[in-house]
Structure 1
Amino acid sequence: MKYLAIGAALALGLAACQPADQAAPATSEAAAPAVAQYDAAAFFMTTSFGMASSAGFAFSASDERILISSDETGVFNAYAVDPGTGDRDALTGSTTSATYALSWFPNDDRALVTFDGGGDELSHIYVRELDGRLSDLTPGENVKAQFIGFSPDGNDIWIATNERDAAAFYIYAYDTLSYESGYVFENSDTLQIGDVSPDGRWLALVRNRTSADSDILLVDLAADTPEQVLITSHEGNIAYGVYTFTADSSALVYATDEHGEFNQAWTYDLASGERAALVTADWDVSFVTYSPSGRYLVSGINADARTEVTVTDLDSGEALALPDLPAGDLGSVRFSRDETSIAFTIDAATSPSNIHLVELASQTHTQLTQALNPAINEADMVDAEVVRFASFDGVQIPGIMYRPHGSSADNPVPALVMVHGGPGGQSRIGYSAMIQHLVNHGYAVYAANNRGSSGYGKTFFHMDDRRHGEEDLNDIVAAGDYLRSLDWVRDDQVGVIGGSYGGFMTVAALAFHPDAFEVGIDIFGVTNWERTLASIPPWWESFREALYDEMGDPATDAERHRAISPLFHADTITKPLMVIQGANDPRVLQVESDEMVAAVRANGVPVEYVLFPDEGHGFRGRDNRITASEAYLGFLDTYLRGDGEAAE
C-alpha cells in the first residue's frame, strides 16, 4: 500500500491491455464545433458536494434532513438538505478552514463536523450544537482526531485521537450529553484502526508490514483483558485490509489479494472463524457497506478508472432496481434510517458530483443539487476516454485522455502529461475544474497511470517498489512520446504536470530527462527525498514501516534517495518550471519548494513560484484554486504555446 497520497490504497487490480493503435481517439474530419471559452472562475464556481461519513448518520433522526458538505461559498461547510425540496440550510459558516460533515447524532439534530488549521492536517472533531455553536471535542495544539462511529445505544461517540502519543491513535468514548471521555482502547502498538463492530464489541486493527504485506488483528473489547488476536496468519506477501463489519456484528468484512491479482471482499465469522468470499470481480473491490438494518449490501468495483456500484437486497439476493439515472459513477450511497430511500452522488467528467435521492417503493428519483455553474454549457466541456499505450519496454500503460474540441491533424494542439499523486494513486474519470479549464483553452491532457498505480493488479502496483524515479518515470517520458505520435498533438509542445508524488515526477522528468518535455508544473511535489522521508508527520507511524519498505529507509537508503531527488540535480534543468506550494503543508515542506526554485533560477531558467500562505497539501479554498489554475494557464500560454516571453 502506498501512502504519500491521503489514506491507504487498497485497490490492487490488473487492467486488460489494449493495443495503442486501438486506443487513440479517432480524428474527426468534421468541422470543429464552436466552443465558448471560460475563465478558471467559471469552472471552479462549479459547486462540490459530498455526503456525510459512511461511519455516521447521513439522514437525521427523523429522516427529514440529509447531512452534506459543500463549497458553494468558496470554502467547504456543512449543510442540511431537505430531501423533498433540495433546499439547503448552512450548519457552519467558516470563511477560512474547510469544514466537512461527519454525522448527525443518533437521536437529535446535533451534528458532528471536522476541520483542521488551514491545511495542517491536525483535524479536530466538533459538535454543531442545536443553537449553531461549535464545541471542540478534541482540543489540543497538536492533536489529530478521527471519527469512528457511535456506540450501539447511541450514548457515546467513538473517536480516535493522538492526544496521548503523537504517533498512536487511542480510541475514546465521548458521552453524547456531557462530552466527557474515557478510554476504549490504548493503541500502544501504533496500529492502523480499521473499524469497530456495530455492537461495540469487536475492534479490527491493521498492521502494515510492507507495501505488499499486511495483517488484521481483532480485539474483543468486552473481554476482561482485551488482547490482539491475529486472524490472517500467512506466508509470503498478502495484503489485508478492513472494509467494515456486518450490521449484525457477526462477521468482519475484509479485503485481501491472496486469491489473485485483484482485491476481493471476504467475510470472517467472528464466532466460528470461517471465511467466505463476499464480493469478487475482475477488478478491485473498492468498498463494502451495509444499510442500517443490514438488509442491503452496497459494493463498489474500480472498473478501469470508473466506479461500478451494486446495491444488493440480501433478503432476495437480487440487485436493487433503480430508475433511469444520469450518466456517471454512483458513490457515497447512504440509506435513510427507515431504509425507504437512498441518497447518493453521481459524478462524470463533464458533470460534477450531485446529490440524488431515490424513494425505493415508488422509484421516484430527485436530483437535490445542481453542481455545474449555469454559466457553462456542458457541451463545451470534453468527456474522458481510457487510452492505453505501450511504454518503453512494452508494458501497457493506461491513462485518461481529455481531447480539446476541434483538435485534428489540421489543427494540432499542445498537450500535457498529468501525473497523479501517491506514489500508488490512480487517475480516474470524473469532473476536474482544473483539467476542463486547460482543455477548454486548447490543451490536451493525458492523465497517465504509470506502473505502480493502483487499480490494475498487484503485479502492476508493485512494479515500482524501491525503483521510484526509474521505470515509472520512464513511463511518463514514454507518455510524452505517445502524445507526440498523435497527429492532432503538436509534437514540439508537450509538457508535464503533477501534484505531490506527481510533482516529484514532474521535476524529475526535467532533471533526468531534460529534453523530454518543453515545460513542467510542479504542484507541492517532493524534490528532496532525504528530507521528506525523515520528516513525515508522526501520525503516519502506523504505516511508517510499509512506507520505508517501499521507498527505502532514510537510515540505510540515503544514497539512493539523494540520487533520485531533483534538488541535487537541479543544474541539469533547462526547461521552464512552475512551482505551486502551500505554506502549511506537513508532507512536503515549503522549504523543499523554496530550495528547488532557487536552484533552478540559478541556472538562468525561467521559474514561476506561487505560494499560498493558508493552504496545505491540496488546496481547499476556491479562490486559491482559481488563482492556481489561472497561473497554470498563463505559464503554459507563455512557455509552451507562446514565445517564451513572460507576460507583462
Structure 2
Amino acid sequence: MKKTDLMTMTAAIALATSSCTAPDKTTDEGPIIGRQEITADNGRMTPEILWAMGRIGSSNVSPDGKQIAYTVSYYSVKENKSHTVIYVMNADGSDNKLLTSSAASESEPVWIKKGSKLAFLSKGQIWEMNPDGTERKQLSEIEGNVDGFKFSPDESKVLFVSQVKYGKRTADIYPDLDKASGKIIDDLMYKHWDEWVESIPHPFIAPFDGNKVGEATDILKDEPYESPMKPFGGVEQLAWSPASDKIAYTCRKKTGLAYAVSTDSDIYLYDVASGKTENLCKDYTANPQKKDDKNEGYDINPQFSPDGKFIAWQSMEHDGYESDLNRLYVLDLEKKEKFNAASAFETNVDTYVWTPASDGFYLTGTWHGTEQIYRLGLNDWKDSKAPVKITEGLHDYGSISLSGDRLIATRHSMSQADEIYSVPVEFDGNFAKATQLTNENKHIYDKLEMGRVEERWIKTTDGKDMLTWVIYPPQFDPQKKYPTLLYCEGGPQSPLGQFWSYRWNFQIMAANDYIIVAPCRRGMPGFGVEWNEAISGDYGGQCMRDYLTAIDEVAKEPFVDKDHLGCVGASFGGFSVYWLAGHHNKRFKAFIAHDGIFNMEMQYLETEEKWFANWDMGGAFWDKNNATAQRTFANSPHRFVDKWDTPILCIHGEKDYRILANQAMAAFDAAKMRGIPAELLIFPDENHWVLQPQNGVLWQRTFFNWLDRWLKPKE
C-alpha cells in the first residue's frame, strides 16, 4: 500500500443514506454521527476504515426473551466526536431497528414494566420509551449526572451511581483565592488514571412510582469511599437481591496512602429498610476449603442467585496483587459459609452469570490464547471438577447474559470487531454452535481482505511450550520476503487472545504488508498460575527471552525479511521495547514504544496505584536488602541507553497518570543525545489510551510512516 493511501482515505468516507442517519441531518449540537459507508483501495484496512466501524456496546434481553436492545457507537474523524445509539432486534437477529436518533448519545438500555418499556440514559438522566422508540419520557431529575442504574426486581426502587465531591478545593481553604489553579495535596491518590481526583462515585437508592424517580439516599453518605471503584468500575459492581430488599455493593473502604498500596476491596450487603451494612468478605470467614482465606485482594461484581439463597462474586486472594487469580466465590447466605466454586479452574473467571435454577454458572475464561464459555456446577468444587467447556474456536467471548436456553454474548477475533451472538447452553457433546445476530460492520468487511491468523507453539529457552500468534498480510505470497514486527503485549499480565483493537490492530499492520509475531510470553493468563506469575519481579528475565525466542524462530522462515525486523508495544509492551532496545544485539531496525516505562525508579514514585509497583517491582528501590527489588531496578531500561543503536519512536499521552509522559520524553531525549534517529508523538489530551478519532488517525499514520521509513527498503 502506498503511504498516500493513508492520507487520502478520509475523503473516501461518506455518511450512508440509511435508517441510522441522513447525511444532511444536523442539530444545534452539530451533525448526527451514524453508520458510515467506506471505499477500500485494494481491499486493505486503513486508519479511517477502522474509525468508520460501528462499535457494539451493551445489550439487554426482554423478559419474554423475544427481543434484544443494544447500543452501537459511531465515530466521525471530521467532527472528532462519537455518538451512541440504541437498536432493537428480534432474538434471532431479524427486524433490526434503530430506536434513537437525537444528537445526544443514548445508552444502557434496560427493559422495564414487563417489557413494555425500555429505560435508558440520555444527557445524564434516566429516560424511558416504547420498544419502537416512541413516547420518550424523562424519569429522573438527579442533581449531577447518572453514570449507571439498576431497577429493583419489583421496580419500586432504582439504584443509580452519581459523583459526589471528594476532598477540599483551594477555594474551600482560602475563599478569597477562588480563581487560584494550584492544588494543595496532603495524601496519595490525588490523581488516578487520567484525572485529578476531585469527585468519587457513590451508589444512591431512590423510590420509583412508575412515572418519576423520587428523592435519593446516598448509601455511602459522608463516607469518602468509591463505589463502584475507579477507574473502570460500573453498575456491574452493584446488585439487587431478588426480593428487592438488599443491595450488594463493591467498595474499598480506604483513602490516601492506605488506598494507594492496597487492592483489598470487599462486598458489602446493605439492608434497604434498616440502612445497616455488613461485610460479606470479612464478617464471614467460615470456608470449607481454606479456613484462613479472608478475601484480602480484589472482591468485585456481586450477583445474587435467582432463588436468593446465595451470592457470588469475583475474588482475588492476595492484597496488593491486582493480577492474582480471579476466583468465583460463593457465600451460602443460610449456612454463612464461603467457598471458591471454581477451585479447579486454572485461569481467571472473567465474567459469569447464574443458571436459572441457581445450581451453577456460565462463565468465561482464557485458556491457550482464546476466551471461551464454560458451564460450572455450584458444588463441582467438592469433587474438584473443572468447568465444562461449551465453545471453541479462534475467537474471544466477552459479555454474557442468559435468555432461556441460550446465552447472548459478544464475540470478537483478530479479524472481526465485537458482534452479538446467540449460544445454546445445551449441546450434544460437541461444542455449541453459535449464531451471529448482528452484522454491524458487514458492509465494511465485505470490502476488505483480512490476513490469515495462525497459532504456533514454540519451545522457549527453558524448554516450555509457548503459544505465538502469527498474522500474515492479505494476499500473502510465501515466495516474497516481508518486514516483520515483534508485538509486545501490555499488562503485564493481560491475555494475548483473539482480541480486536482500534489502535493495536493486527489486521491494519498486516494490510501494510507486515508479518506480525505476537508471543504469549511469561506473565500471561491462560497457561496456568505458574506461567502467569513468573513475570512479577522479573521484568528483564524470562519474559524477555520469550520475546527473542519467538522472533528468532519465526525469522527462520524464508518469507521473513530478517534484515528488516521491528519491535512495537504499549504499556508493559512499551517497557519491553525500551528494554529490548538495549539488549537486542542488532536484531531490530526500528522500535516503537507507547506509554512505556523508561526509568523504573521514577515509575515507582510517579504511578498512582502503588500496589502495582510494590508487587510487580518487588518493593522500593531504596530497600537495598530486597534482592527482588534490586534486580528489578538494575534492569531499568534507562540504564542500558549506552547500548541503544536503533531508530525509536516514543508515543505518550500527557493525561496518562498510570505511566507519566515524562517517561517517553526522557527516552526520546536520551536517544537524540546519543545521536540515534528518534521521534516523539505527544498527546496533551489523551490518557493511557488514544480515544479521540483524529488523534487515533494521527497515531496510525505516525506509526506506519516510522515503520515504513526503516523497514521497507527504498526502491
Which of 158, 180, 194 is equivalent to 2:160?
A: 158
Distance in 2, Cα, partners of 1:132 & 1:531: 52
Q: Which residue of 1 aligns with 2:205?
A: 173
Pairs within 5 Å for 1:95-494? 101-104=107-110, 106-107=112-113, 108-112=117-121, 127=126, 139=144, 147=148, 149-154=150-155, 155-159=157-161, 161=163, 163-164=165-166, 166=197, 170-173=202-205, 177=212, 180-185=215-220, 194-198=237-241, 199=244, 201=246, 203=248, 205=250, 217-222=266-271, 225-229=276-280, 230=282, 231=284, 234=292, 241-245=299-303, 246-255=305-314, 264-275=327-338, 278=341, 281=345, 283-290=347-354, 297-310=361-374, 328-335=395-402, 343-356=408-421, 367-374=437-444, 376-377=446-447, 380-405=449-474, 407=476, 410-432=479-501, 434-494=505-565
Contact kept? 2:452, 2:474, Cα under 8 Å: no
Give secondary structure in 1 for the equivalent of 2:565. Answer: strand
**Shift of residue 272, structure 1, vs aligned partner:** 0.5
Cα 1:396/1:65, change in 2 over 3 Å:
closer
Give secondary structure in 2 for the equivalent of 1:596. Answer: helix
Give secondary structure in 1 for the equivalent of 2:694. Answer: helix
Q: Which amino acid aligns with 2:437?
A: Q
Contact kept? 1:291, 1:334, Cα under 8 Å: no
Distance in 1, Cα, partners of 2:562 & 2:642: 26
Distance in 1, Cα, partners of 2:663 & 2:64: 48
Distance in 1, Cα, partners of 2:102 & 2:141: 14
Give secondary structure in 2 for the equivalent of 1:615. Answer: coil
Contact kept? 2:226, 2:251, Cα under 8 Å: no
Distance in 2, Cα, partners of 1:287 & 1:553: 31
Alignment of 1:46 onto 2:91: no
Pairs within 5 Å for 1:508-519? 508-513=579-584, 515-519=586-590
**Shift of residue 266, structure 1, vs aligned partner:** 4.5
Contact kept? 1:60, 1:104, Cα under 8 Å: no
Give secondary structure in 2 for the equivalent of 1:594. Answer: helix
Distance in 2, Cα, partners of 1:603 & 1:546: 32
Distance in 2, Cα, partners of 1:289 & 1:334: 7
Q: Which amino acid aligns with 1:411?
A: K
Distance in 2, Cα, partners of 1:225 & 1:403: 59
Q: Which amino acid aligns with 2:205?
A: A
**Shift of residue 270, structure 1, vs aligned partner:** 1.6
Give secondary structure in 2 for the equivalent of 1:619. Answer: coil
Deviation readout 1:141-169 (Å, 9 max, x if unpaired):
xxxx9647444444222327563354976
Q: Which residue of 1 aligns with 2:601?
A: 530
Contact kept? 1:414, 1:641, Cα under 8 Å: yes
**Shift of residue 353, structure 1, vs aligned partner:** 1.8
Greater Cα offset, 575-584 or 38-47: 38-47
Distance in 1, Cα, partners of 2:360 & 2:84: 27
Distance in 2, Cα, partners of 1:113 & 1:609: 39
Give secondary structure in 2 for the equivalent of 1:465. Answer: coil
Give secondary structure in 1 for the equivalent of 2:582. Answer: helix
Cα 1:205/1:43, change in 2 over 3 Å:
closer
Deviation readout 1:502-554 (Å, 9 max, x if unpaired):
111111211344534221111222223334443334xx5xxx43552223445
Contact kept? 1:243, 1:288, Cα under 8 Å: no
Q: Which amino acid aligns with 1:234?
A: D
**Shift of residue 428, structure 1, vs aligned partner:** 1.0
Give secondary structure in 1 for the equivalent of 2:473. Answer: coil
Cα 1:214/1:438, change in 2 over 3 Å:
closer
Give secondary structure in 2 for the equivalent of 1:369. Answer: coil
Deviation readout 1:28-85 (Å, 9 max, x if unpaired):
xxxxxx9744433234433321224xxxx56599976613132354554332112142
Pairs within 5 Å for 1:44-83? 44-52=51-59, 59=62, 66-71=69-74, 73=76, 75-83=81-89
Q: Which residue of 2 aligns with 1:13?
A: none
Deviation readout 1:270-294 (Å, 9 max, x if unpaired):
2203456645545543221147896
Greater Cα offset, 485-494 or 304-313: 304-313
Distance in 2, Cα, partners of 1:290 & 1:100: 28
Contact kept? 1:477, 1:516, Cα under 8 Å: no
**Shift of residue 411, structure 1, vs aligned partner:** 1.9
Distance in 2, Cα, partners of 1:67 & 1:574: 50
Q: Which residue of 1 aligns with 2:97?
A: 87
Distance in 2, Cα, partners of 1:532 & 1:105: 46
Distance in 1, Cα, partners of 2:139 & 2:545: 50
Distance in 2, Cα, partners of 1:466 & 1:234: 26
Contact kept? 2:54, 2:73, Cα under 8 Å: yes
Contact kept? 2:489, 2:570, Cα under 8 Å: yes
Q: Which runs of 5+ in 2 are unaligned?
A: 1-40, 130-135, 168-196, 230-236, 286-290, 318-323, 379-386, 427-432, 624-628
Cα 1:346/1:170, change in 2 over 3 Å:
closer
Q: Which amino acid aligns with 1:78?
A: T
Give the TM-score normalised by the residue count of structure 1. Answer: 0.73
Q: Which residue of 2 aligns with 1:19?
A: none
Which of 537, 541, 548 is equivalent to 2:614?
A: 548
Q: Which residue of 2 aligns with 1:3?
A: none
**Shift of residue 401, structure 1, vs aligned partner:** 1.8
Q: Which amino acid aligns with 2:690?
A: F
Greater Cα offset, 73-82 or 627-636: 73-82
Q: Which amino acid aligns with 1:494?
A: L
Distance in 2, Cα, partners of 1:278 & 1:313: 8
Identity across aligned pairs (percent)?
17
Contact kept? 1:67, 1:104, Cα under 8 Å: no
Give secondary structure in 2 for the equivalent of 1:82. Answer: strand
Cα 1:69/1:263, change in 2 over 3 Å:
same
Cα 1:502/1:148, change in 2 over 3 Å:
farther
Cα 1:62/1:494, change in 2 over 3 Å:
closer
Cα 1:220/1:596, change in 2 over 3 Å:
same
Q: Which residue of 1 aligns with 2:320?
A: none
Give secondary structure in 2 for the equivalent of 1:623. Answer: helix
Give secondary structure in 1 for the equivalent of 2:166. Answer: strand
Give secondary structure in 2 for the equivalent of 1:374. Answer: helix
Q: Which amino acid aligns with 1:226?
A: T
**Shift of residue 410, structure 1, vs aligned partner:** 3.3
Contact kept? 2:350, 2:365, Cα under 8 Å: yes
**Shift of residue 402, structure 1, vs aligned partner:** 0.9
Contact kept? 1:156, 1:175, Cα under 8 Å: yes
Q: Which has the larger radius of gyration?
A: 2
Which of 573, 591, 596 is equivalent to 1:502?
A: 573
Cα 1:451/1:553, change in 2 over 3 Å:
same
Distance in 2, Cα, partners of 1:60 & 1:615: 40
Contact kept? 2:267, 2:300, Cα under 8 Å: no
Q: Which amino acid aligns with 1:86?
A: N
Distance in 2, Cα, partners of 1:615 & 1:72: 17
Structure with bigger RCO (C-alpha 8 Å, 6+ apart): 1
Q: Which runs of 5+ in 1 are unaligned?
A: 1-33, 115-124
Greater Cα offset, 393-402 or 202-211: 202-211
Cα 1:288/1:596, change in 2 over 3 Å:
same
Deviation readout 1:370-393 (Å, 9 max, x if unpaired):
324536545x21242332322333
Give secondary structure in 2 for the equivalent of 1:331. Answer: strand
Distance in 2, Cα, partners of 1:577 & 1:364: 44
Deviation readout 1:601-620 (Å, 9 max, x if unpaired):
22222222223344222122
Distance in 2, Cα, partners of 1:532 & 1:100: 39
**Shift of residue 366, structure 1, vs aligned partner:** 6.6
Cα 1:82/1:164, change in 2 over 3 Å:
same
> Aligned-residue CA RMSD in angstroms?
4.6
